[in-house]
Structure formats: C-alpha cells, structure tokens
Amino acid sequence: MPVHFITGQRAIWLIVAAVVLQFSAHGAATELQPAHSGPLLQEQQIYAALPPPSVKRHASREPFDEAAVPVAFGDVPDKWHAIQIEIEAETAVLDRCRAGQECTEAARMFLGIVTQGQSRDGLARIGVINRAVNSAIVPTSDMRQWGVADHWSPPLETLTTGHGDCEDYAIAKYVALIDAGVAKEDVKLLIVRKRLPEEEHAVVAARVDGAWLILDNRTLVLAPAGEVRAATPLFVLDEAGAKIFVPGIVAGGLS
C-alpha cells in the first residue's frame, strides 16, 4: 500500500466527516470552522463533539479497543464499496464451482483454502487460513503488477495472478474466513499506519474467544491486537461499510 495513503489535513477532514455523519442521525448540530482555522482547533472541535468515554470500560466491538465511527466517503470507503461489489460477483463463480459446473483454477484454490479452514475450529481455523493465503500469493507492488499506485483485488483475481500486496492478502483472508464459517462480526479488515518503516498497511483482525488477533501477510504469527505496538489503526472495514478510528477515545459502546 502506498506510503502516506491518508495523512495530515485529509485525515482530519475524514474524521470530521465521520463525526458529522454519526451525530446528524441523532439530531445533533455541530458547527465546524473552515480549514484556515487550523488543524488544532479542528481536532478540539471533533473531540468536543464526541460523547464522553464511558466510566465503565466495555468490551470493544472493534480491534485495538478504540472507538470507530462510520465514514461514507473518501478513498478507503470508496475502494471498500467497490471491492464488496466484486466479491459478490465472485460468489457466483464459487457457487458454480461448488455445484460441479464451470470452475476456474483460482476458484478451486480458494475453495481449497476454505475447506482447510472448515476442517478446524477456533484458533486453528484462523491459523490455517492465514498460512494458506500467505503461501498462495507472491508479494508484489501494485505499480509493478498493475502499473498504478493502488489497486484492490478481490480474492479470485488475486489467486489468478498469484501476486498481490497487503490489501490483496487481507481481502482474500477476510472472505475466506467468513466463507469457512467464522461469524461476520468476528472478522474485520484493518488499515493501519505502521512505523519502521513508516507506511500504511492492511491486515485482518479475527476474534477468537473474545480476543482480537491480527493476521498479517508478513508473518505466520497471530499476534493479539493489544500487543501490536508499532501500528496505529486508521480504518476498520466489514460488511457494514467503513469506519474511521478516533484516536484516544476508548470504545465505550460507541461502535
């Protein structure tokens, strides 16, 4: 994923949009100053508009135990919406393959990964699918493969080429985990900002026995989200759409 995918003032305005979208539905009116008022003032207004953190710490519905609010526009939500449509289209290909009809090599490979997962439960299911997807794809930049800075591929497109970058691994894992029987509410695709090197990176979070684990294409280790210290969560993506994390706010039932 390209470095500086969402940075600076653009990230601030995405948070502004998310807050406005969330609270307009409840009849709350928030007056925001124009951009020339300065990022610091904007951030103060954003946080002032949010409900106060709950005194009692609730179990988080999102990884990293931070609040996330819906965001309906921008690069990430647009790409996620487009990929959801492509995933739905690929479902028909997989259904034909399951029915013993036309079946591409990529569809057979994907269903093989799903079958491996279905043969196990809990943590073992998550680990098998993480390992299988990591092994099936050669890490390749979008510029090298597609000639563009950023291209998100649905699972069968990725398995057809056998190449992809972090979000392609993550999308394939996200779909495979749900297809293998993991509850939809227990699978999230995350965009995080990593340090050393400084970059935006896509991973999957899967919840097992109440704990969120991170599936990364760069390792076979399933790390608890709370122990991932070198990454700051930016976006969480799932069947409901895109949400943006609000830093410093504990998820006290907001999500």
Structure tokens at 73: 């526009």
Does domain 8-250 match CATH 3.30.465.10?
A: no
C-beta of residue 195 within 8 angstroms of C-beta of residue 230: yes
Whole-number Å distance between alpha carbons of 6 and 28:
27
Phi and psi at 101, nearest 5°, equal -95, -145
Tokens 């994907």, located at residue:
110
The ranges assigned to domains in the chain are 8-250
Query: For the segment 70-108, what is each residue's pLDDT rounded down to a tens digit?
Result: 999 999 999 999 999 999 999 999 999 999 999 999 999
Handedness of CA 133, 135, 139, 140 (dihedral sign): negative
Query: For the segment 128-180, what is each residue's pLDDT rounded down to a tens digit?
Result: 999 999 999 999 999 999 999 999 999 999 999 999 999 999 999 999 999 99
Q: Is 114 exposed, middle or buried (0-12, 13-18, 19+ CB in 10 A)?
A: buried
Query: For the segment 167-188, what is each residue's pLDDT rounded down to a tens digit?
Result: 999 999 999 999 999 999 999 9
Q: What is the pLDDT of residue 161?
A: 98
Distances (CA, A) of 183 to 9, 150, 176: 36, 29, 11
Q: Is the pLDDT of residue 249 over 80?
A: no
pTM of the model: 0.77
Handedness of CA 51, 229, 199, 210 (dihedral sign): negative
Q: Is 123 exposed, middle or buried (0-12, 13-18, 19+ CB in 10 A)?
A: middle
Whole-number Å distance between alpha carbons of 180 and 115:
7
